[in-house]
Amino acid sequence: MSQTRIESMMDEKRLFEPPAEGRETAWVKSMEEYEALYKRSMEDNEGFWAERAGTLIDWFTPFTKVLEADMDTPSIKWFQDGTLNVAYNCVDRHIANGRRNKAAIIWQGEPDEDVKVYTYQMLYDQVCRFANVLKAQGVGKGDRVALYMPMIPELAVAMLACVRIGAVHSIVFAGFSAVSLQNRVQDCEAKVLVTADAVLRAGRTIPLKKNADEALRECPSVTRVVVVNRANANVDWVEGRDLWWHEQMKAPGISGHCPCEPMEAEAPLFILYTSGSTGKPKGVVHTTGGYLTYTAHTTQWVFDLKDSDVYWCTADVGWITGHSYIVYGPLALGGTTLMFEGVPSYPGPDRFWQVVEKFRVNIFYTAPTVIRSLMREGSEWTRKHDLSSLRLLGSVGEPINPEAWMWYHEHIGGSALPIVDTWWQTETGGIMISALPFATPLKPGSATRPLPGVDARIVRPDGTDAQPNEGGHLIIRKPWPGMLRGVFGDPARYKSTYFERFPGAYEAGDGARVDSDGYFWIMGRLDDVINVSGHRMGTAEIESALVSHPSVAEAAVVGMPHAIKGEAIYAYVTLSADVEETEELRAELRTWVRKEIGPIASPEVLQFADGLPKTRSGKIMRRILRKIAGGSTSDFGDTSTLADPGVIADLIEGRVDLT
């Protein structure tokens, strides 16, 4: 993130007290209560979590052992002798407990007239049917099922169907390319792929099955493809492999009942790939009992979710935010979750506010990049709609700059609503650092305090504790139920990425500081990962996509500050000998990256460079590239180890300005 933004946050002195209205009925009512909960959770960590897991989750076999953990090996086991089923907790139990006719999922499609509401009873029927469809195709406990789908209710149904029978889903965001899908499916060796004919996006129909077909050319593990008809788009059909969702759901022998497989607490629940600092995405593994406890717990306390609420998280289910806070957390609590297929800007920049008004949304959770882009459109769009149903706002994905925070607060929150700025990661499973909406006084730009149970610290590179206001590495000392349990198929990477540098602790990869009030200020990634519109991109991944093009000799990718996206991708490319630097090639390379990874990875800026700043030992000095991308022309620090100091001037001269 840019220096000016960090500095503006350093000066942030405003404090917003939690609203009085809502306090009385809130799950956590005051800072005193928070402090007491926090203290208790640190002194009797296992007792605290045992109580949460016992209160929030229905266990088939209750656990007797709370935790067995060794953060060095690492080996983490929560509630290990308990058994449960996530679909039972998210669906079945609510039918028995009086929520049978309550809306579980309200789905708003991109066209405003496309609305579907699934009561818990209806969801039960659909989940059971699809579970039976999967079983009929030979899917069983432990098998992987890849889901490459738009934001349609069938995606939530497919997830719950997998977990009902003990299959492990791996969702691939529908914006990823065929190549990315292929890599992920190959890595987890999925047996079945569920997809759709097409995706509706901003009024266009974008083929999806076409990408799946392309990806599956080299995925021998996949024997069946189930296709949802979303858009009546033309599709190619592979006889014997492809099946229509709507036909299978009604097929003879597919009943609306299916028993829930009792699962061990530590059985894998899902795999979700995320970018790291090396080229290959990591398959983050989450497990059953701990993950569900953690998402239910955080949904209840951070979003103060009540039975009467309409709750809307605007993320895509293809990311962890959607897994935890569209599907598992809210449904575990028997809540009503709104699932939205569209985009914020179509048909107009008031689409979100129109949907809030339409369904009288009470809790709204979105990303800073969305706030910034809507802020730019002007506040008149927000005034066109009645937003008075809202009682709580949330933010996730990147630090929210105070300007965006204030706009969100004033124009969406009517200067009255709490904003929970939630820090967490794919790996943490759920929210780790956040305000409790009716307890914590807010400072714009700060994620505030760690949640009860979360032992977050800032340490220096040598592992010693940082002083107040001293920036350092964000680590978590005690295990928590939602933490990842592995990197699929790569235990060595699991250990080396998260548990090696600071022995006995989980390393988040973020830089942060804690102020003298104990508030956390996240400063951004410390590794070669950039955060574009709240999405994590590995620079190495983009570089390897670029160098796979025949005209490219070398590439270096860094993040640059961007007013809306937070960070944008800036690529320096050295071409092979005799290849000419043309605008056509520049456009081609950007298209190439879109095809290799997906549109979100396409470089904002692509600069042709004759040489890159390397040390005499051949290491690229990214620090310099980041500075040039950010517009600096001086103050490059110590450049004495550069093999050819002249490259700096050439790079500055060739810098591409965004206009």
CB of 114 to ligand WT7, least distance (A): 27
Give the nearer residue to ligand WT7 in terms of CB position, either 129 or 282. Answer: 282
Residue 77 near residue 69, CB atoms below 8 Å = yes
The structure tokens listed for 331 are 């449904």
Residue 423 contacts ligand WT7 per CB under 6 A:
yes
Residue 440 contacts ligand WT7 per CB under 6 A:
no
Interacting residue with ligand WT7 among 83, 89, 337, 422 (CB under 6 A): 422
Give the nearer residue to ligand WT7 in terms of CB position, either 182 or 531. Answer: 531
Give the nearer residue to ligand WT7 in terms of CB position, either 425 or 607. Answer: 425
How many residues at the interface with ligand WT7, by CB under 6 A?
Answer: 23
State the Cα angle at 137 between 133 and 142, rounded to 5°. 95
Q: For residues 609 and 646, what is the distance between their CA atoms, to the nearest angstrom?
A: 12
Return the range that interacts with ligand WT7 (CB under 6 A); candidates 396-404, 539-547, 572-580, 637-645: 396-404
Between helices 45-56 and 288-302, what is the axis angle to 10°? 90
Q: For residues 551 and 333, what is the distance between their CA atoms, to the nearest angstrom?
A: 54
Query: Binding residue per annotation — 11?
Result: no
Residue 536 contacts ligand WT7 per CB under 6 A:
yes
Can you spell out the DSSP letters for 433-449?
Answer: B---TTTPPB-TT--BS
Return the range that interacts with ligand WT7 (CB under 6 A); candidates 34-42, 145-153, 523-531, 637-645: 523-531
Q: For residues 261 and 7, what is the distance between their CA atoms, to the nearest angstrom?
A: 52
Return the range that interacts with ligand WT7 (CB under 6 A); candidates 114-122, 172-180, 504-512, 592-600: 504-512
Residue 426 contacts ligand WT7 per CB under 6 A:
yes
Task: Show contacts with ligand WT7 in window 243-262 (CB under 6 A).
Answer: none
Query: Binding residue per annotation — 422?
Result: yes
Interacting residue with ligand WT7 among 425, 448, 539, 602 (CB under 6 A): 425
CB of 512 to ligand WT7, least distance (A): 8
Q: Is 154 exposed, middle or buried (0-12, 13-18, 19+ CB in 10 A)?
A: buried
Task: Show contacts with ligand WT7 in window 316-335 (CB under 6 A).
Answer: 320-321
Place of tokens 């955080």: 298
Interacting residue with ligand WT7 among 187, 341, 398, 541 (CB under 6 A): 398
458 pairs with which residues across the strands?
474
311 pairs with which residues across the strands?
337, 363
Query: Which residue number is nearest to ligand WT7 in terms of Cβ?
Result: 426
Return the range that interacts with ligand WT7 (CB under 6 A); candidates 154-162, 195-203, 423-431, 624-632: 423-431
Cα 336 to chain center, whole Å? 20
Kindly report the number of other CB atoms within 10 A of residue 517's CB atom.
12
The structure tokens listed for 555 are 């590439």
Task: Show contacts with ligand WT7 in window 56-95 (CB under 6 A).
Answer: none
Kindly report the number of other CB atoms within 10 A of residue 469's CB atom.
12
CB of 396 to ligand WT7, least distance (A): 5
Query: Binding residue per annotation — 470?
Result: no
Give the nearer residue to ligand WT7 in terms of CB position, either 109 or 418. Answer: 418
Return the range that interacts with ligand WT7 (CB under 6 A); candidates 189-197, 448-456, 519-527, 623-631: 519-527
Residue 274 contacts ligand WT7 per CB under 6 A:
yes
Q: For residues 67 and 432, what is the distance between their CA atoms, to the nearest angstrom?
A: 19
Q: How far apart are the first and last CA of the chain?
A: 20
Please list, in sequence order, all residues whose beta carbon lies within 8 angstroms of the beta carbon of residue 108, skipping any fewer than 6 positions away: 114, 115, 338, 339, 340, 341, 342, 355, 358, 359
Residue 397 contacts ligand WT7 per CB under 6 A:
yes
Give the nearer residue to ligand WT7 in terms of CB position, either 392 or 396. Answer: 396
Task: Show contacts with ligand WT7 in window 292-321 (CB under 6 A).
Answer: 320-321
CB of 386 to ligand WT7, least distance (A): 28
Residue 510 contacts ligand WT7 per CB under 6 A:
yes
Calculate the dihedral angle through the C-alpha atoms of 50, 52, 54, 60, rounding to the nearest 10 degrees.
Answer: -100
608 pairs with which residues across the strands?
573
Return the range that interacts with ligand WT7 (CB under 6 A); candidates 176-184, 299-307, 418-426, 617-625: 418-426
Query: Binding residue per annotation — 179?
Result: no
CB of 632 to ligand WT7, least distance (A): 23
Residue 381 contacts ligand WT7 per CB under 6 A:
no
Please list, in sequence order, all residues whose beta carbon lies within 8 angstroms of the beta carbon of residue 394, skipping any fewer than 6 positions away: 302, 303, 313, 363, 364, 365, 366, 419, 420, 421, 422
State the Cα angle at 87 between 83 and 90, rounded to 5°. 110
Query: Binding residue per annotation — 594?
Result: yes
Backbone angles phi, psi at 241, to 5 degrees: -110, -40
Contact positions vs ligand WT7 (CB under 6 A): 274, 320-321, 396-399, 421-426, 447, 508-510, 522, 524-525, 531, 534, 536
Q: Which residues are annotated as a binding site for ATP?
A: 397-399, 421-426, 510, 525, 536
Q: Which residues are annotated as a binding site?
A: 201-204, 321, 397-399, 421-426, 510, 525, 533, 536, 547, 549, 552, 594
